Amino acid sequence: VKISEYEIDLEEAVKTINKKNFKRVLLQIPEGLKVHVSSFVDYIEKNTKAEVIISANPCFGACDIAYYELNELDVDFLIHIGHTSIPELGKQKNVMFLNARSELDVTKVLEKAIPLLKAKKIGIVSTAQHAHKLEQVKTILRNKGFETFIGKGDSRIKLEGQILGCDFSSARSISKEVEMFLFIGSGNFHPLGLQLSTDKKVIACDPYTHEVKSTEDLKEMVLRQRYGAIARAKSCRIFGILIGTKKGQQRIDLALTIKEKLSNAQKKSYLLALDYFSPSVLETFAVFDCFVSTACPRIAIDDYMQYKKPILTPVELDILLNYKKWEDYSFDEIS
Amino acid sequence: VKISEYEIDLEEAVKTINKKNFKRVLLQIPEGLKVHVSSFVDYIEKNTKAEVIISANPCFGACDIAYYELNELDVDFLIHIGHTSIPELGKQKNVMFLNARSELDVTKVLEKAIPLLKAKKIGIVSTAQHAHKLEQVKTILRNKGFETFIGKGDSRIKLEGQILGCDFSSARSISKEVEMFLFIGSGNFHPLGLQLSTDKKVIACDPYTHEVKSTEDLKEMVLRQRYGAIARAKSCRIFGILIGTKKGQQRIDLALTIKEKLSNAQKKSYLLALDYFSPSVLETFAVFDCFVSTACPRIAIDDYMQYKKPILTPVELDILLNYKKWEDYSFDEIS
DSSP letters for A45-73: HHHSS-EEEEE-S---STT---HHHHHHT
* Dihedrals phi, psi of B185, to nearest 5 degrees: 155, -175
What strand order describes the sheet that includes B6-8?
B2-3, B6-8, B100-102
Range 21-60 of A in CB contact (< 8 A) with B: 26, 31, 34-38, 41, 51-58
A contacts of B287 (beta carbons < 8 Å) = 35-38
- Compute CA A316 distance to the chain's CA centroid, rounded to the nearest angstrom: 19
Please give the pLDDT value at position A335.
Answer: 79
* Alpha-carbon gap, residue A177 to A250, rounded angstroms: 33
SS3 at position A286 = coil
Chain B interface, best mutation among A263, A270, A291, by max B CB count within 10 A: A270
B contacts of A274 (beta carbons < 8 Å) = 55-57
* Nearest Cα to Cα of residue A124 among A79, A157, A160: A160
Q: Choose the closest CB to A270 out of B38, B72, B252.
A: B38
Please give the pLDDT value at position A144.
Answer: 97
User: Contact B58/A287, CB-based, under 8 Å?
Assistant: no
Please give the pLDDT value at position B227.
Answer: 97
> For the CA atoms of A116, A119, A122, A127, what is the dihedral angle to 10 degrees?
-30
Block means of pLDDT (10 residues each) for chain B, 335 residues, are 96 98 98 95 98 96 94 96 94 92 97 97 98 98 98 96 97 98 96 96 97 96 96 97 96 98 98 94 94 95 90 98 96 92
Q: Choose the closest CB to B273 out of A31, A69, A284.
A: A69
User: Contact A284/B35, CB-based, under 8 Å?
Assistant: yes
Q: Is B294 exposed, middle or buried (0-12, 13-18, 19+ CB in 10 A)?
A: buried
* Alpha-carbon gap, residue A301 to A223, rounded angstroms: 10
B177 and chain A in contact, CB less than 8 A: no
* ipTM associated with this complex: 0.94
Please give the pLDDT value at position B90.
Answer: 85
A323 and chain B in contact, CB less than 8 A: no
Q: List the beta bridge partners of residue A81.
A: A98
User: Contact B281/A69, CB-based, under 8 Å?
Assistant: no
CA–CA min distance B27, chain A (Å): 9
Q: Choose the closest CB to B287 out of A38, A72, A270.
A: A38
Could you tell me where the beta strands, DSSP code E, fall in chain A?
Answer: 2-3, 6-8, 24-28, 51-55, 77-81, 95-98, 100-102, 121-126, 147-149, 180-184, 201-205, 212-214, 238-244, 268-274, 290-293, 311-312
Element (H, E) at A263: helix A252-264
Quick check: B262 and B233 in contact, CB under 8 A? no
Could you tell me where the beta strands, DSSP code E, fall in B35-157?
Answer: 51-55, 77-81, 95-98, 100-102, 121-126, 147-149
Please give the pLDDT value at position B304.
Answer: 84
User: Contact B245/A281, CB-based, under 8 Å?
Assistant: no
Could you tell me where the beta strands, DSSP code E, fall in B115-253?
Answer: 121-126, 147-149, 180-184, 201-205, 212-214, 238-244
Q: Choose the closest CB to B54 out of A57, A69, A272.
A: A272
* Alpha-carbon gap, residue B318 to B112, rounded angstroms: 40
- Percentages helix, strand, coil for chain A (3-state, rounded to 5) are 40, 20, 40
A223 and chain B in contact, CB less than 8 A: no
- Residue A304 pLDDT > 90, yes or no? no
Q: Count of A–B CB contacts within 8 Å?
A: 121
Could you tell me where the beta strands, DSSP code E, fall in A127-191?
Answer: 147-149, 180-184
For residue A110, CA distances in Å to A119, B135, B137, B324 come to 15, 77, 77, 62
Quick check: A13 and A44 in contact, CB under 8 A? yes
Quick check: B214 and B116 in contact, CB under 8 A? yes
> For the CA atoms of A270, A271, A274, A278, what is the dihedral angle to 10 degrees?
30
Which residues make Cβ contacts (< 8 Å) with residue B275, sequence separation at least 6?
Answer: A57, A68, A275, B244, B245, B246
User: Contact B273/A73, CB-based, under 8 Å?
Assistant: yes
Element (H, E) at B61: none
A contacts of B55 (beta carbons < 8 Å) = 273-274
User: Contact A73/B245, CB-based, under 8 Å?
Assistant: yes
- What average pLDDT score do residues A249-265 get? 97
CA–CA min distance A146, chain B (Å): 43
pTM, rounded to two decimals: 0.94
- Compute CA A55 distance to the chain's CA centroid, rounded to the nearest angstrom: 20
* Alpha-carbon gap, residue A333 to A274, rounded angstroms: 19
| Structure confidence by residue, pLDDT tens digits, A26-75 | 999 999 999 999 999 999 999 999 999 999 999 999 999 999 999 999 99
B250 and chain A in contact, CB less than 8 A: yes
User: Contact A54/B271, CB-based, under 8 Å?
Assistant: yes
User: Contact B250/A72, CB-based, under 8 Å?
Assistant: yes
- What average pLDDT score do residues A209-229 get? 96
* Alpha-carbon gap, residue A206 to A215, rounded angstroms: 12
A contacts of B275 (beta carbons < 8 Å) = 57, 68, 275
CA dihedral over A221, A224, A230, A234, signed as positive or negative: negative
Number of H helices, E strands in chain B: 12, 16
Burial A51-90 (b: 16+ CB within 10 A, else e): bbbbbbbbbbbbbbbbbbbbebbebbbbbbbbbbbbeeee
CA–CA min distance B275, chain A (Å): 7
Closest alpha carbon within chain B to A238:
B38
* Alpha-carbon gap, residue B236 to B224, rounded angstroms: 19
Q: List the beta bridge partners of residue B201.
A: B180
Q: Choose the closest CB to A287 out of B38, B242, B270.
A: B38
Quick check: A157 and A87 in contact, CB under 8 A? yes
B contacts of A281 (beta carbons < 8 Å) = 56-58
Chain A interface, best mutation among B42, B51, B68, by max A CB count within 10 A: B68
Residues counted in chain A: 335
A contacts of B60 (beta carbons < 8 Å) = none
A contacts of B65 (beta carbons < 8 Å) = none
A257 and chain B in contact, CB less than 8 A: no
CA–CA min distance A221, chain B (Å): 29
B95 and chain A in contact, CB less than 8 A: no
B contacts of A284 (beta carbons < 8 Å) = 31, 34-35, 56, 58
Please give the pLDDT value at position A93.
Answer: 83
Which residues make Cβ contacts (< 8 Å) with residue B241, sequence separation at least 6?
Answer: B255, B258, B259, B262, B269, B270, B271, B272, B291, B292, B294
DSSP for A219-249 reads: HHHHHHHHHHHHHHHTT--EEEEEEE-STTT
* Nearest Cα to Cα of residue A241 among A320, A311, A145, A186: A311
- Residue A91 pLDDT > 90, yes or no? no
For residue B182, CA distances in Å to A293, B110, B133, B158, B175 come to 47, 9, 13, 19, 12
| Structure confidence by residue, pLDDT tens digits, A132-154 | 999 999 999 999 999 999 999 99
A contacts of B247 (beta carbons < 8 Å) = 72
* Alpha-carbon gap, residue B264 to A165, rounded angstroms: 46
* Dihedrals phi, psi of B224, to nearest 5 degrees: -60, -45
A245 and chain B in contact, CB less than 8 A: yes
Chain A interface, best mutation among B270, B303, B311, by max A CB count within 10 A: B270
Percentage of residues of chain A with pLDDT beyond 90: 97
